[in-house]
Amino acid sequence: TKQYLDLPVAPADIAFGLMTDFEADPHPKKVSMIAGAYRDENGDPWILPSVKEAKERLGEATHEYLGIAGSPTFTNLAKELIFGPIASSLQENAASIQAVSGTGANHLAATFLARYLRPKRVFIPSPTWINHKSIWEMAGVAVVEYPYYSHDTRELNVTGMLDALEHADPNDVVILQACAHNPTGVDLSKPQWTEVSNLVQRKKLFVVFDSAYQGFATGDVDGDAWVVRHFTETVLASGTHPGLCVAQSFSKNFGLYGERVGALHLVVPRHLSAQGALSELMLISRAEYSNPPQFGASIVETVLGDRGLRAQWKADLHTMSSRIQRMRGMLRQRLEKETLLDWSYIEKQIGMFSYTGLTAHQVDRLRREFHVYLLPSGRMSMCGLNEGNIDYVVCAIGEVVQ
Ligand code: PMP
């Protein structure tokens, strides 16, 4: 058995490793399209005006502890945001707990479900956010990848996805990203979601929705939550279903990345109560970090709890999502002119990322020869693009695809 003295040094996290390389790169034209963090038209981090105003209103906030489950005002507002009109019928049927952002919510879900649902396997999309696999492996559940994206068609592989989930057993867990799929930017249509929902009901699978981009994807907070609400209604109505949960992040839609704001909501069928589950979630939270961070949650609750600030926040979401959409259009148009190839999929994809289809070798050349940084998978964070660097990036891509 291994002990700490003979542990090999683990490879660095790909994205965080590249970010360090980027920081150290002295080239004046370097461009980072690595991180999933919004940048404004000058390439700078952006504090949302709604968040700025909330901070002013909060003034000299204290630094007291929150309770183990976090701020009840925050978790209620978070619940209303994701579940919309059905939130009011979830009194008994949902357990909501503040979490250490989306990562912490995913981790709480994995730890709790590994203990009490005891799935044989968890099904994650191929590809998906890199941390899903690590989080579930750490919880000791066997991870299986289901086909999600077809590199040939650059579209969803819905047949592959449904076929793979057909092989799941009752109480197995399926991870679904609610909108703006990371890293592909390809989402299911409503009819496709309905097919998945029917399968999940029939096979009694437990869905964990990962919702990291509500409102950020399209600017429409309700539209981006449609699938969560649709599945929740079917779970509530079911007599036999094990339930579902939603890991909710406020990193992107409030630009509060480093503040670690999130929540986990567990929903059970209408004839059951989720209050026992909440007490177990609190035991896990208490043992792991005692109570969640206070500052970011107080910003979110100030914004969501005030009609005027909420309207400003929706305008801020529109500012971010429409800038990204504009960049998609410009990138597609200029790449098509430069390379005479079809780049229409860049404009069809949604959210923060674009799956460019560039190979690992081409991505490597972009970094070495042009100081343009993407993930080796070809994932590009659209936020890194702006009118000041897009022509340089287009020229660089043009060179490596020749
Ligand atoms: N899920 C997905 C799909 C994501 O893309 C991210 C952020 N990259 C997260 C969860 C969690 O992020 P955070 O912990 O910052 O909320």
Of all residues in the chain, what percent are helix, strand and coil, respectively (each to 5)? 50, 15, 35
Rounded to the nearest angstrom, the distance between the alpha carbon of 118 and the centre of ligand 1 is 24
Please, what sign has the CA dihedral across residues 247, 177, 133, 36?
Answer: negative
Instruction: Report how far residue 191's alpha carbon sits from residue 336's, in angstroms, rounded to the nearest whole number.
Output: 31
Instruction: Report how far residue 365's alpha carbon sits from residue 378's, in angstroms, rounded to the nearest whole number.
Output: 12
Name the residue with the closest Cα to ligand 1, atom 1. 212
Q: Dmax over Cα atoms in the chain, in whole Å?
A: 62
Based on the residue annotation, tell me whether 193 is a catalytic residue of this protein. no
With a CB cutoff of 8 Å and minimum separation 6, the contacts of 239 are 269, 271
Rounded to the nearest angstrom, the distance between the alpha carbon of 28 and the centre of ligand 1 is 30
Rounded to the nearest angstrom, the distance between the alpha carbon of 212 and the centre of ligand 1 is 5
In this predicted structure, what is the pLDDT of residue 110?
A: 98
Name the residue with the closest Cα to ligand 1, atom 10. 102
In this predicted structure, what is the pLDDT of residue 386?
A: 96
Pocket of ligand 1 (CB under 6 A): 36, 101-103, 129, 177, 182, 210, 212, 249, 251, 257, 262
**pLDDT tens digits for the chain (402 residues)?**
778 888 888 888 888 899 999 999 999 999 999 989 999 999 999 999 999 999 999 998 889 999 999 999 999 999 999 999 999 989 889 999 999 999 999 999 999 999 999 999 999 999 999 999 999 999 999 999 999 999 999 999 999 999 999 999 999 999 999 999 999 999 999 999 999 999 999 999 999 999 999 999 889 999 999 999 999 999 888 878 889 999 999 999 999 999 999 999 999 888 888 999 999 999 999 999 999 999 999 999 999 999 999 999 999 999 999 999 999 999 999 999 999 999 999 999 999 999 999 999 999 999 999 999 999 999 999 999 999 999 999 999 999 998
Based on the residue annotation, tell me whether 163 is a catalytic residue of this protein. no
Does the predicted interface ipTM exceed a cut of 0.90? yes
DSSP state of 90: G
Find, among 202, 215, 137, the residue nearest to 175 by Cα: 137
Give the atom of ligand 1 at the shortest distance from the alpha carbon of 102. 16
Rounded to the nearest angstrom, the distance between the alpha carbon of 340 and the centre of ligand 1 is 35
